[in-house]
Amino acid sequence: MPNPFKKTQDVDSPYAVYKNDQRGWEWRVLATRKMPENEAGSPFAIWYVAAKSPFTYGDWEYGDTYKSEVIQNGQLVTSTNEWSKHYG
């Protein structure tokens, strides 16, 4: 089965949005590098995200980040149905 999150999404239609309102962070997951079941237990699984924080002055910064960083620091606030099946 192919990775359902491999195709890179636009920042306005991400697979998922994670936020940390206390710190002013938001991550929009635009793609993943591995199948969801292959990420399980790996602290080094990588997601391609658009991130906004107090340090980006209202702009999105794009790049790879560790899944564990997003999960530990943010809370899932919205996602596609497919994302919810695997990560919700």
23: in domain = yes
Q: Which two tokens mark 66?
A: 């560790």
61: in domain = yes
pLDDT greater than 80 at residue 1: no
pTM, 2 dp:
0.94
Q: Which domain holds residue 67?
A: 16-79
55: in domain = yes
Query: What gap in Å lies between CA 61 and CA 65, rounded to an integer?
Result: 11
The number of domains in the chain is 1
**Which pLDDT tens digit goes with each residue over 32-68?**
999 999 998 888 999 999 999 999 999 999 999 999 9
Over residues 23-35, mean pLDDT:
96
87: in domain = no
33: in domain = yes
